[in-house]
Amino acid sequence: MMIPDNPNTGHCLNLPEYPVYIGTLRDRICHFLENNRHSGCFILVDDNTQQHCLPVLQQQVPQLNTAGIVNIEPGEIHKNLKTCELIWNYMLENRADRNALLINLGGGVIGDMGGFCAATYKRGIRFIQIPTTLLAQVDASVGAKVGIDFGGVKNSIGAFANPAAVFIDPVFLQTLPMPQILSGMAEMVKHALIAEPQALQELHSLLPIQPVTDWKKMIYKSILIKYEIVKADPFEKNIRKKLNFGHTIGHGIESFSLLPDQTPLLHGQAVTLGMIAELYLSEKKQHLPKSQLQTAIEVLQKLAPSYPLAGHHYPQILRFIANDKKNQNGSINCTLLSQIGTAHTDCAVTAEEITEALNFLNSFFN
Ligand SMILES: NC(=O)c1ccc[n+]([C@@H]2O[C@H](COP(=O)([O-])OP(=O)(O)OC[C@H]3O[C@@H](n4cnc5c(N)ncnc54)[C@H](O)[C@@H]3O)[C@@H](O)[C@H]2O)c1
Ligand SMILES: [Zn+2]
């Protein structure tokens, strides 16, 4: 993979659908706004990004000081139709027409919901994404998925809609809490594990995270890996399932952790645990060499929260895994590795094998 060597200004990924800029926002957004006239600009934020990210954006791009600010409450529980109504109402009341621009400034919740609101408002207005969490920068910035949670099901209402552009500035990561950083890092490690062994070493060298970390190159690499996979399979028929590595067991643990009497995990934290468990299955079922298993585990241990599971939790976790939408014909499917960098989709595993994998995972915390 070729990476343009311009560490000062950052990188530009000219995807056929839209450009993704990685680096300082100022010049690029100003340039975008001057070259794309809009009848009005609206910035969608949540309480946290209004406090931490909006001042940075407005200081860098003074034209945005007059933009309408649409504020919503933070968190996945607000990624719903009710919040969309608030957003649509604000835009209607402030006379946003079909030439208005919506700027989504926030994590994946803001990006997904703002993108959905823009894609449907007056049959679609332009929107740009300024992701401010590491997870949204490396994961949600590619793939054009927008949507909300509905009927208790995550992302059950949505669409594929391309933003006009994505602007990624690692400056926003300075205020992001460490668990959120590590959660985003988990998806970066996943990208390396399924497609690029060298990136794994580079990510390893970033751990533990230092305040001066230069994120630009690694964010760029990570996006490129996801993009290559999404490009080959835009509607998630086959190859894109490689991105599910760690997610079969990870989602099961995530759902379990969100039960009222458990300690909630962030998505990336649960996926870290899921990857450790699925590495065990990779060795067992795809003959991942032991030395590679150890290398991968070494990196993941630096990201993993301590999360011991009791034996009586297993049946509940297994139920969540069995009900996952990724399963077909009654069997549980995982993406597994035969090598670091080589992923195989739709590997059927049994409940007994998952139990073994959970025991393996648990051995790190007992
Ligand atoms: N569209 C996609 O392809 C895609 C991919 C991955 C995830 N997602 C979605 O993204 C969501 C998760 O994203 P997320 O982890 O970014 O969650 P999030 O948007 O809830 O952000 C996490 C928390 O960080 C706060 N925050 C954001 N930026 C900050 C900053 N710079 N400084 C301080 N605090 C900040 C937010 O207010 C929030 O409290 C999920 O809804 C998921 O479905 C979508
Ligand atoms: Zn994920």
Residues 69 and 194 in one domain: no
260 C-beta neighbours (distance < 10 Å), count = 5
Strands (E), the chain: 11-14, 19-22, 40-46, 68-72, 100-106, 126-131, 145-150, 153-160, 165-168, 332-339, 342-349
Does 20 fall in a domain? yes
Look at residue 31 and tell me if it is in a domain: yes
Whether 196 and 138 share a structural domain: no
Say whether 126 is catalytic. no
Closest-lying ligand 1 atom to the alpha carbon of residue 155: 43
Would you tell me the crossing angle of helices 290-301 and 197-205 to the nearest 10 degrees?
40
Q: Is the pLDDT of residue 186 over 60?
A: yes
Distance 134 CA to ligand 2 centre (A): 12
In a domain, 268, yes or no: yes
CB atoms within 10 A of CB 216: 21
N residues, the chain: 366
Structural domain of 291: 178-362
Domain count, the chain: 2
The per-residue pLDDT for 5 is 42
Asked if residue 1 is part of any domain, the answer here is no
Measured on CA atoms in the order 259, 264, 266, 269, is the torsion positive or negative? negative
Given a cut of 90, whether residue 233 has pLDDT beyond it is no
Domain assignment present for 274: yes
Count Cβ neighbours within 10 Å for each residue of 182-212 and write b for 16 or more, e otherwise: bbbbbbbbbbbbbbbeebbeebeebbebeee
Claim to verify: residue 99 and residue 168 sit in the same structural domain: yes
Q: Can you tell me which atom of ligand 1 is nearest the CA of 47?
A: 37
255 is a domain residue: yes
Phi-psi region of 254 (alpha: psi -120 to 50; beta: other; left: phi over 0): alpha
User: What CA–CA distances, in Å, run from 284 to 115, 200, 272, 304, 308?
Assistant: 41, 22, 19, 22, 22
Residues 73, 222 share a domain: no
Q: What is the tens place of the pLDDT at every residue in 30-82?
A: 999 999 999 999 999 999 999 999 999 999 999 999 999 999 999 999 999 99
Whether residue 329 has pLDDT greater than 80: no
Q: Mean pLDDT, to the nearest integer, of 160-169?
A: 97
**Pair 186, 86 in one domain:** no
Mean pLDDT computed over every residue of the chain: 94
Per-residue pLDDT at 270 exceeds 60? yes
Q: By percentage, how much of the chain surpasses pLDDT 70?
A: 96
Domain boundary among 175, 209, 235: 175
Assigned domain for 246 exists: yes
| Confidence category of residue 11, pLDDT binned at 50, 70, 90 | confident
Q: Does 2 have pLDDT greater than 50?
A: no
Q: Are residues 308 and 327 in the same domain?
A: yes
Q: Residue 6 pLDDT more than 70?
A: no
Give the residue-averaged pLDDT of 280-285.
98
Same domain, 144 and 29: yes
Ligand nearest to the CA of 245: 2
182 and 170, same domain (yes or no):
no
Domain CATH code at residue 212:
1.20.1090.10
- The whole-number average pLDDT for the span 267-283 is 98
Mean pLDDT lowest among 229-233, 334-338, 354-358: 229-233
Rounded to the nearest angstrom, the distance between the alpha carbon of 283 and the centre of ligand 1 is: 32
Q: Is residue 280 part of a domain?
A: yes
Average of per-residue pLDDT across 80-109: 98
* DSSP-based three-state secondary structure for 19: strand
Query: In the listed set 152, 175, 198, which residue is the last one of a domain according to the structure?
Result: 175
Instruction: Indicate the pLDDT class of residue 1, thresholds 50, 70 and 90.
Output: very low
Q: Are residues 45 and 192 in the same domain?
A: no
Catalytic residue check, 313: no
What pLDDT band is residue 10 in, cutting at 50, 70 and 90?
Answer: confident
- pLDDT class for 252, splitting at 50, 70, 90? very high
196 and 101 in one domain? Answer: no
Higher pLDDT, residue 9 or 189: 189
Q: Do 112 and 198 lie in a common domain?
A: no
pTM listed for this prediction: 0.94
Q: Provide the pLDDT confidence category of residue 3 given band limits of 50, 70 and 90.
A: very low
- Read off the CATH number of the domain in which 144 is found: 3.40.50.1970
**Nearest Cα residue to 61 out of 152, 146, 128, 141:** 128
Nearest bound ligand to CA 75? Answer: 1
Answer yes or no: are the C-beta atoms of 224 and 4 closer than 8 Å: no
Ligand 1 site residues, Cβ closer than 6 angstroms: 46, 48-49, 52-53, 74-76, 79, 106-110, 112, 132-133, 135-136, 139-140, 143, 145, 155, 172, 175-176, 180
Residues 202 and 252 in one domain: yes
Domain closes at, from 140, 159, 175: 175
